Each structure stands twice: as structure tokens, then as C-alpha cells.
Amino acid sequence: MGGSILSQEHFQGGRHVLPLMKAPVEREVTLPAFPAVHAEILKWPMTTIRITAKVAADIVTASEFIRQVWATYSDERLDIHAISPTGEAQHTITPIARQVGDQFEMYLVLRDNGTSATYPDGIFHPHPDVQHIKQENIGLIEVMGLAILPARLQTELQEIANYLVGDQPLSAVAPSHRDWAAALRENATVTRENVMTVIRQAVADVFIRVLADAGVYKYDTAGREGLMRFIAHLTAAGKQ
């Protein structure tokens, strides 16, 4: 694993196999311009295309093609806008590369920085109801399924644990967590022995929502249909 310096261009490396690499395949994708490349959409909260080939240069060329197509693609029906109202580019990808045996892989995660009146922090950013756990931007390691959580939670989650087992009133819990903590107490079977396990699972559930919020194409009918429109556009662009 590595750390990030987000004020500059940087690379991050490591050999840890993160959950994204274990995600099942949702469907295959045809890239006519790149016959040596195998492409597939992964079943993952953040929209991810994995491409595989035996030649690294093929991966690089295909990845750049997908990046360029995504950079100019918009879908008004899903609030997906390549360019902001002020003329700023809003689309990029998070690329993750690795080698498995004699195959090279690239994971291309679609990103959209658009905002709206409803979601001023970002349409595809953790929404307000999960920001008590994570309100910061979703970085590379989180994209791959490992939660990087703020240090404040170490104290705040202990306060919630104390409340759940009856040692402290709800007023002792940070205001941003109170509704969540009250719901946990009502819906979960909590003991002194399992309280931290319950809390960790609840945090994990919120983190899945965080990733889903950051995902461009949601796992509903509109989202999957929208993804197929983009894939059709991508395929057509490769035939030109």
C-alpha cells in the first residue's frame, strides 16, 4: 500500500490484492479497434471497465482511447455532463494497472466531478446522509474497496459504542452520528461483547453506500441502461 500527495501528479504502487480485483464480471465489452484486448464491466459500486492483454502497449492504447471517449461523453438523462456550465472538463478515469502471470490488466474507473443544486459537493460524491462517516473525496485505494476513514472516528465510534451498551446518553454522541446511532440501537442486537463488531459492520455498510454514491452508473434500471448507452457509444467510436 502507499500514501498520496494529491497536490501533484503521482503514482501509487503495491502488490496487495484489493477487493476490486476480486469483483465478478457483469458483462463483456467489444472494442473493435483493439482486437488483442479483452474488455469487461465489473460488478462493482463504482463503474469499472477492466481490460486485459498480453502486450502492455495494447493496454495503454486502449485505456487512452476509453479515457478520451469518456472525457467528451454526456448523458443528460443521468446528470452526466462532460463539461461544466463554466466550461471546465468534468470527466476523468482512475486507472489501476497490474500484471497477472503473462497478462497485463488495467482497471478504468469512470469519474465525474459534476455538481448540482441538490448535491453541491458532487453528484457522484458521498451524499449528505453518509458524510458523518466519510465526506472527503474518494481516492485510489478507496476506489479499490479499502476504506480510508478520518481519524475523528476513532473517538466518535467509541462514544457510539458507549451509547449502544447504555453507558452514555445519546447526547454524548457527536450530533452528526445521532440518528445513525439511534437506528443501530433500535435495529441491531447489541451486547458488550459484540458492540464493536456491530459498529464495524455498520461502518462497512455505509462505506458501500459511499462507493455507490461515487459510482457514475447506479445499479438500477436507469443506471444500467445508461451504462449500455455509453458502451454502445464507446463501441461505435472504435469503428470510426
Overall average pLDDT of the 177-202 stretch: 95
pLDDT band, residue 85 (cuts 50/70/90)? very high
Q: CATH classification of 19-124+217-239, choosing from 3.40.50, 2.60.120, 3.30.428, 3.30.70?
A: 3.30.428
pLDDT of residue 10: 63
Model pLDDT for residues 35-70, shown as the tens digit of each residue: 999 999 999 999 999 999 999 999 999 999 999 999
Lowest mean pLDDT among 9-18, 108-117, 128-137, 214-223: 9-18
Comparing C-alpha atoms, which of 142, 87, 140, 91 is closest to residue 114? 91
- The residue extents of the domains of the chain are 19-124+217-239, 125-214
> Which residues make Cβ contacts (< 8 Å) with residue 206, sequence separation at least 6?
130, 133, 134, 180
Give the model's pLDDT for residue 2.
42
- Number of Cβ within 10 Å of residue 176's Cβ equals 14
Instruction: Check whether 210 has a pLDDT greater than 80.
Output: yes
In this predicted model, what pLDDT tens digit does every residue of 155-164 receive, in sequence order?
A: 999 999 999 9
Say if residue 3's pLDDT is above 60: no
| Entry pTM | 0.89
Q: At a CB cut-off of 8 Å and minimum separation 6, what does 184 contact? A: 160, 164, 190, 198, 199, 202
Quick check: 106 and 51 in contact, CB under 8 A? yes
The proportion of the chain whose per-residue pLDDT surpasses 70, expressed as a percent, equals 95
Q: What is the pLDDT of residue 144?
A: 94
Mean pLDDT of all residues in 148-156: 92
pLDDT, average across residues 175-187: 95
Mean pLDDT (whole number) for 136-164: 92
pLDDT at 239: 72
